[in-house]
Amino acid sequence: MATHQATPARDNRTLLLKLSLLACVMFVFAWGLIPVYDALCRVTGLGKLLQPDVVSATPAATLAAPIVLTFDATVQPGLPWQVRPLVSTLKARPGEFVRVDYEITNASNRRVIGQAIPRYLPAAAAEYVKKLDCFCFAQQVFEPGQTKRFPVVFVVDKSVPAGIDSITLAYTIFDVPGRS
Amino acid sequence: MAIADTTHAGHGDHHGKPHGLARWLYATNHKDIGSLYLWFAFSMFIFGGVLALCIRAELFRPGLQFWQPELFNQFTTLHGLIMVFGAIMPAFTGLANWLLPLMIGAPDMAFARMNNWSFWLLPPAALLLLISFAVPGGAAAAGWTMYAPLSTQMGMGMDLTIFAIHIMGVSSIMGSINIIVTILNLRAPGMSMMQMPMFAWATLITAYLIIAVMPVLAGVVTMVLTDRHFGTHFFNAAGGGDPVLYQHIFWFFGHPEVYIMALPAFGIVSHIIPTFSRKPLFGYTSMVYATSSIAILSFMVWAHHMFTTGMPATAQLFFMYATMLIAVPTGVKVFNWIGTMWQGSMSFETPMLFAIGFICLFTVGGLSGVTLSIAAVDIQLQDTYYVVAHFHYVLVAGALFSLFAAVYYWFPKMTGRMYHEKLGKFHFWWSMIWFNVTFFPMHFLGLAGMPRRIPDYNLQFADFNAMASVGAFCFGLGQLIFLYNMISSIRHGQPAPQKPWETADTLEWQIPTPAPYHSFVEAPTLEVGENGAIKSMQGGKHH
């Protein structure tokens, strides 16, 4: 007589355990993806926005037409900063060093830590803006009411396509939650 | 321990059905649990459908008529979540519960008590989603994909949604474990893997996909939860995290999820087309391999949902070509179904109509999918109504139509009565027409640039939107015909013979109609052909 006892309950239990283990492994895998992506971004240089760029020696300015540079900054609603660039716009040729100062004030009466994230318009210009110094490379600490002035030093690379004749550099300032 | 093995539950053989509420609350019988799943899925389908109609009512005309944008966003979000996790997935699990043991000659699912758990976790999860409308800030409104950083900022409705997803994830993982163990360990002697019915193959592969990716979804929503409440910065750029990371992890789940909702449909259609063409399934082996390769490829294409996130061109090309590759095994399937119909002696009962409707419309959805896979085109079409049209062609005309086909096809075996054929045909043609009136114009809207998930739109989109809204309301009303047909046929339908479809040859048609409460308490010895076709059956006892 053929019955289902042919496969003992133990086999079912073993398979149950194996499949549950697979589910747990996949749960951990979701976290495992984080270092994988992190390494991938570092290897491919995708996450380079927040590191100083290396610029070869002293790049001489070209004779190309100057590019209109606009500086901007936004603060998310509810966050305590006032941010303004001291110059809102200037012109520079590709290959020319540019320095612009940003003034950031902590308008609250508590100590806060901020992180600036740069953004470029047009987005295609991002890879041609080589930043040598920027307050966005590190988290910045602000005492209550403190005002700080930060320089941003950069070069627009000479290989910038002719189609890009104006670039907006915009910062968004976030607070780092859980650390103040 | 709550997990009982059916091979130990021998006492269940000797008594009949339990009665009253206890029968359902403590259900361990695979047919009872299957019915619970199917009714739950249908009520969620109605609930999700009402949300869809709220969306279409607002979009009937430009401007804001009924809802504030915040509420509108909650409707789109919950409509998606409920249809995916509350309607389509439980409906397929319900069908698998009902049919798998009958198709492979098992007495029940392998872990009957765990089966009870997997179902009864679903109503609390649905309740969490329902009450999230009433909490301060309302329900989750970040879209069913719950992208960070939007989802890390919303009110407590998002927390309820995250918990609901955890619960539904646990439920579907337990259901999948049950399916895999049942198929691998409880097949009747004589049925080998390469003879199994396509439906069993499809649910087996789907179950593996669920176990592989539902935990990833659970992981990523847990990260959202800790970002919201415990000061982590997985998706917060300021803290060293990255919002794009959310999309990578989510779509690692999300793309296989698409096939979790499509593969069982392929399995269903692979039984209905042969039966009503009076021919065996063309290319059974290639069907099995096509299903497996779709499942494997589905893990390699997730980033085609993210072409606009600023990926390097090399990555875009890789994901574009990998995505196009999926069209090959899918094309094999469509070819085989048409090959099955070729020179067949076809008849067009309701299940066949829905199956053919499925093939036609799923192919339309598949083609718009290939269009979207082209990175250069997708950048234009991302988040437009073209995408909405695409996935409703594969999910409504794909998954949902196949579910209707399945319910009509197996209704006689499940209930012992025939459904009302004329009403069934009417339901098909009504759904077919209004489905296309609703969703076909969305292709044009998307190509013209109308964005999805926005309650208002420019005047030039008005006509097609009005058309889509009329279609949606008619389509929705038509589903009440289905409900009426089911209820009245369960009560008063003509008694069904053991084999209502003359060439249906899988195992479930070899047992009495309606299927006995305890079927195959003793395993039959089978001689089986391809696609589960029974050549001879010996033994096999029922109560």
* 10-residue averages of pLDDT along chain B (543 residues): 43 62 91 96 97 97 94 96 97 97 95 95 96 94 93 93 97 97 94 96 97 97 95 84 92 95 97 96 96 95 92 89 95 96 96 97 96 94 96 96 97 96 97 97 96 94 97 97 97 94 93 92 92 91 81
- Peptide bond before B514: cis, by omega within 30 degrees of 0? yes
Chain A nearest-CA residue for B252: A30
> Does the CB of A20 have a partner CB in chain B at under 8 Å?
yes
- Tell if the CB–CB gap between A2 and B523 is shorter than 8 Å: yes
Across the interface, whether the CB atoms of B233 and A177 are under 8 A apart is answered yes
- Contact of A78 with chain B, judged by CB distance below 8 Å, is answered with no
Whether A175 sits inside 8 A of B238 (CB atoms) is: yes
Please tell me the distance from the alpha carbon of residue B258 to that of residue B213, in angstroms, as a whole number: 11
Report the gap between the CA of A63 and the closest CA in chain B (Å): 31
**What is the tens place of the pLDDT at every residue in A110-166?**
888 888 888 888 888 888 888 888 988 888 888 888 999 999 999 998 888 888 889
- Across the interface, which of A27, A37, A123 has its CB nearest the CB of B245? A37
Contact: A115, B237; criterion CB under 8 Å: yes
Over pLDDT 70: what percentage of chain A?
87
Instruction: Please give the ipTM for the structure prediction.
Output: 0.88
Note the pLDDT of residue B13: 45
CB A59 within 8 A of CB A155: yes
Q: Are A180 and A114 in contact (CB under 8 A)?
A: no
The per-residue pLDDT for B11 is 44
The pLDDT of residue B241:
83
CB-defined contacts A:B, below 8 A: 119
* Residue of B185, B213, B214 to mutate, testing the A interface (most A Cβ within 10 Å of its Cβ): B185
B212: which chain A residues are within 8 Å (Cβ-Cβ)?
22, 26
Which range, of A28-42, A58-72, A110-124, averages the lowest pLDDT?
A58-72
More confident residue, B416 or A77: B416
Instruction: Give the pLDDT of residue B427.
Output: 97
Q: Compute the 3-state secondary structure of chain A and give helix, strand, coil in percent, each to the nearest 5.
A: 30, 35, 35
pTM of the complete model: 0.85
A46/B8 Cβ within 8 A: no
> Given this model, what pLDDT does residue A139 score?
84
**Cβ-contact B140, B157 below 8 angstroms:** yes
Is B7–A12 a contact, with Cβ atoms under 8 angstroms apart?
yes
- Residues A69-91, buried b or exposed e (16+ Cβ, 10 A)? bebbbebeeebbbebebeeeeee
Measured between CA atoms, the residue of chain B closest to residue A140 is B238
pLDDT mean across residues, chain A: 84
For residue B181, the distance in angstroms to the closest alpha carbon of chain A comes to 6
Residues of chain A contacting B118 with CB distance shorter than 8 Å = none
Instruction: Pick from B236, B246, B307, B520 the residue to mutate for testing the A interface (most A CBs within 10 Å).
Output: B236
Nearest to A174 among B189, B238, B522 (CB): B238
| Closest Cβ opposite residue A30 in set B181, B188, B216 | B216
| DSSP structure class, residue B419 | -
Residues 161-180 of A with CB under 8 A from B: 174-178
**C-beta contacts of B294-297 below 8 A and 24+ residues apart:** B294/B259, B294/B263, B294/B326, B294/B329, B294/B330, B295/B205, B295/B206, B295/B208, B295/B209, B295/B256, B295/B259, B295/B263, B297/B322, B297/B325, B297/B326, B297/B329
Per-residue pLDDT, B6: 46
- Look at residue B165 in the predicted model and tell me its pLDDT: 97
Which of B185, B248, B539 is opposite residue A11, by nearest beta carbon? B185
Which of A26, A75, A119 is most worth mutating to test chain B (most B CB atoms within 10 A of its CB)? A26
Q: Which residues of chain A are within 8 Å of residue B233 when distances are taken between CB atoms?
A: 176-178
Task: Indicate yes or no: CB of B216 within 8 angstroms of CB of A22.
Answer: no
Q: What is the pLDDT at residue B403?
A: 97
Quote helix, strand, coil % in chain B, to nearest 5: 70, 5, 25
Among B7, B180, B524, the residue with its CB nearest the CB of A19 is B180
- How close is the nearest chain A Cα to the Cα of B270, in Å? 27
Shortest Cα–Cα distance, B10 to chain A (Å): 11
Alpha-helical regions (H) of B342-461: 350-373, 375-381, 385-394, 401-415, 421-447
Provide the annotated active-site residues of B. 79, 108, 144, 171-172, 255, 257, 259, 270, 304-305, 330, 333, 452
**CB within 8 Å: B252 and A33:** yes
- For residue B289, the model assigns a pLDDT of 96
Interchain contact, A114 vs B107, CB within 8 Å: no
**Cβ contact (<8 Å) for A22 and B8?**
no
Task: Read off the pLDDT of residues B20-38 as tens digits, 9 standing for 90 and up.
Answer: 888 999 999 999 999 999 9
Mutation choice for B interface testing from A16, A49, A51 by most B CBs within 10 A:
A16
- Among candidates B238, B310, B522 on the partner chain, residue whose Cβ is nearest the Cβ of A176: B238
The model's confidence at residue A49, banded by pLDDT at 50, 70 and 90, is: low
- Chain B: give the shortest CA distance to residue A44, in Å: 9
Record: contact A12-B107, CB cut-off 8 A: no
Q: Which residues of A6-31 are buried (b: 16+ CB within 10 A; e: fewer)?
A: ebebebbeebbeebeebbeebbebbe
- Indicate the helix (H) or strand (E) that contains B528: strand B522-528
Query: Is the Cβ of A29 closer than 8 Å to some Cβ of chain B?
Result: yes
- Are residues B231 and A177, on separate chains, in Cβ contact within 8 Å? yes
Residue A114: predicted pLDDT: 85
Contacts of B181 in chain A (CB under 8 A): 12, 15-16, 19
Instruction: Using alpha carbons, select from A7, A155, A14, A46 the residue that is nearest to residue A93.
Output: A155
